[in-house]
Amino acid sequence: MKSDLFKILTLSLVCWLAIAAANDLDRSILVIGDSLSAGFGVEPENAWVSLLQTRLQDQGYGYRVVNASITGDTTGGGLRRLPRSLQLHQPDLVIIELGGNDGLRGLPIGMIRKNLTEMIALSRKNGAQVILAGMKIPPNYGATYTSAFSNLYAELSEELNVPLIEFFLDKVALNPDFMQPDGIHPNDRGQLQLLENVWQILHPTLETD
């Protein structure tokens, strides 16, 4: 009993120290996404956002990573939540990973474009750089819609001069070794690849002390 209590207290102290250390960092990265960034189905420490925080610390980058991702969220939900997140965390950089659920629901491309455009504008108005994570949807939604959805991210990247992760699930989607049994959400191995997909675009934008 005493041993279990000691373990719990020790774990709590480690978590508190990690949070306190992160909160002392000067710069911050806000990740606003859906289940792919919320770490659905994996332990929190194995999710790509947590792995990103670890890598930043290991490589000496003074950034605190704030995960404002919610499973099932859409661009509309992200747009509604973003102002509050910007106010609370004052991020230096915002990673927008949204749109997949919009596409799976067949929402109008124009609406998705409008929501993402406004999120980018709000982030920049708050002084943050923006990285956009591109998504794709299955072909059963029809060639016209599927193509328009996929092209949307590249078009926004070019029009608004936003760094783009061309396909957030690159090397993960359709790879059973990297996916959970549901075939939708990445497993632990997939989370590692998501980190690499993000890092390739994120790394050149990072500031060093």
Residues belonging to the active site? 35, 182, 185
Torsion of CA 98, 197, 192, 31, to 10 degrees: -40
CB burial of 174-190 (b: ≥16 within 10 Å; e: otherwise) equals eeeebbeeeeebbbeeb
* Inter-residue long-range contacts of 151-158, CB under 8 Å, 24+ positions, other chains counted: 152/99, 152/109, 152/112, 152/113, 152/116, 153/99, 155/113, 156/113, 156/116, 156/117, 156/120, 156/132, 157/132
Sign of CA dihedral 197, 200, 201, 206: positive
Give the span between the Cα atoms of 65 and 94, in whole angstroms.
Answer: 10
